[in-house]
Amino acid sequence: MMVLDKDQELVLSGNNGTVLGSAMRTLVEYGKVFGAKRLVPIKSAHIAGTFGIIRFNSFYAILRQMLDEGLRVRVPTTVNPRPGREFSIQNRVAFFHQRKLERMLEQLGVIENYSCVCYEERNMPARGDIVAWSESSAVQYANSVLGARTNRNSLLIDVCSAVTGYTPEFGYLLDENRRGRLLVRLKIKKMDASALGYLLGMLAVDRVPVVEHYPFSRVELKNMGGAMAASGAVALFHVEGVTPEAPDCASVFDGKPEKEITISQEMIDEFRYRGPVDMVIFGCPQMTFDEIMALAPRFVGRTVTKPTIFFMVPDAYNRFRGTDLCRKVMQAGVRLETCCPVSALTSHQGMYKKKKIMTASGKTYYYLDGSLYGTVDDCCAACGVM
């Protein structure tokens, strides 16, 4: 049975407005389904609903009700990427309500970061902070790399948490559900973190994997986690001696692991496509500034032989635009975008429907129909800069 405090009871009763009461009731019912005994305050929220899809009328109606009642987010709240409405004529139709949606989100008081990598600069919880995020890759990073606590929330649940400041306490908010269940040993000579994440998502499904020590960078953790959350339902992973809750394997397991698996070089190399392609894309989760600066020099003094796109965090894009390296990358023929690559390339039919699109993102590989996977080196070779 869920028990609310006096302030929460007042909100639920409609004392502070009927729409806010409905948002609180939604969270209560959501929590009851998963056995939550109380609602807990959150430090921040992250909202996934940023695509102005033409048939999303119920979503827009709920946001309008909130605004008409004068509601605004009660905690710092970031938002997911734009869908790429201007990417094509088809997208302008599919995302017809994009401008209207963005105006409503602005009026709701969100931080207009428009990125799935919200934790890079705009929304950085500390270890142990309880947050209410949607967007699988962001949830994964918050839980795993930052040591914050959030469940993998859905569209509208995230908005309800943002305007009330609460989330039900269950799942990954509780210590017992953050324990490792699957021990992952590595026999890999050349690491490809995104492919490893894709494979782990398939093998772990919804269990918490613990990867034996490997010195992953922050970018590798981001891309591995994003792929893992796409190919599976993994919302938390640990890396021995790297992530904050796993100083060693003994600390993160409750006794012996349920299962132990070994990932070999051959297993992650199986995903690689080695034939001709029509397009190459980088990013998803969006590229950070450090990620761009590491990749960009490969394009200096070269000319891409296939259409090539960098999908970047908007803040990183703005920062990169001020560098001389940006000019050289654009001279090489690279297109720079700040939208979501999956929506930009999927929502319209025709232009890219039958084309072979190579990506170094396990997340894109899972979601984008017809995409082909390659390492960063493979992608650079495919677009003619290696």
DSSP string covering 12-25: HTTTT-HHHHHHHH
Neighbour tally for 81: CB within 10 Å: 31
Q: What is the mean pLDDT of residues 314-318?
A: 97
List the domain boundaries for the chain: 6-173, 179-269, 279-382
Q: Where are the beta strands (DSSP E) in the chain?
A: 39-41, 45-47, 77-79, 132-133, 166-168, 182-187, 209-211, 238-239, 259-264, 279-287, 308-312, 334-337, 357-359, 371-373
Q: What is the pLDDT of residue 350?
A: 54
pTM: 0.96
Q: What is the pLDDT of residue 370?
A: 83
- Contacts for 278 with CB less than 8 Å, ≥ 6 apart: 306, 307, 355, 356, 357
- pLDDT above 60 for 352: no
Q: What is the pLDDT of residue 198?
A: 98
When the pLDDT of each residue in the chain is averaged and rounded to a whole number, the result is: 96
- pLDDT above 80 for 311: yes
pLDDT in tens, 223-263: 999 999 999 999 999 999 999 999 999 999 999 999 999 99
Q: What is the pLDDT of residue 369?
A: 86
Q: What is the mean pLDDT of residues 150-161?
A: 97
- pLDDT above 90 for 353: no
57: enclosing H helix or E strand: helix 57-68
- pLDDT band, residue 1 (cuts 50/70/90): confident
Range 6-173 has CATH code 3.30.499: yes
Per the model's pLDDT, the better-predicted residue between 346 and 43 turns out to be 43
Q: What is the pLDDT of residue 316?
A: 97
Q: What is the pLDDT of residue 90?
A: 87
pLDDT in tens, 112-134: 999 999 999 899 999 999 999 99
- pLDDT band, residue 9 (cuts 50/70/90): very high
Q: What is the pLDDT of residue 225?
A: 98
Percent of the chain residues past pLDDT 90, beyond the cut: 94
Neighbour tally for 294: CB within 10 Å: 14
Q: What is the pLDDT of residue 349?
A: 42
- Cβ atoms of residues 372 and 277 within 8 Å: yes
Q: Record the tokens describing residue 147, joined without a space.
A: 């040591």
Q: What is the mean pLDDT of residues 290-314?
A: 97
Per the model's pLDDT, the better-predicted residue between 254 and 332 turns out to be 332
The DSSP line for 200-252 is: HHHHHTTS-EEEPP----HHHHHHHHHHHHHHS-----EETTTSTT-SSHHHH
| 279-382: CATH number | 3.30.499.10
Does the fold of domain 279-382 match that of domain 6-173? yes
Neighbour tally for 55: CB within 10 Å: 9
180: enclosing H helix or E strand: none
- pLDDT above 90 for 354: no
Query: How far is residue 165's CA from residue 24's CA, in Å, rounded to a whole number?
Result: 10
Q: What is the pLDDT of residue 334?
A: 98
Q: Record the tokens describing residue 71, joined without a space.
A: 């509601």
Query: How far is residue 144's CA from residue 138's CA, in Å, rounded to a whole number?
Result: 10
132-133 and 45-47 beta bridge pairing: parallel
- pLDDT band, residue 89 (cuts 50/70/90): confident
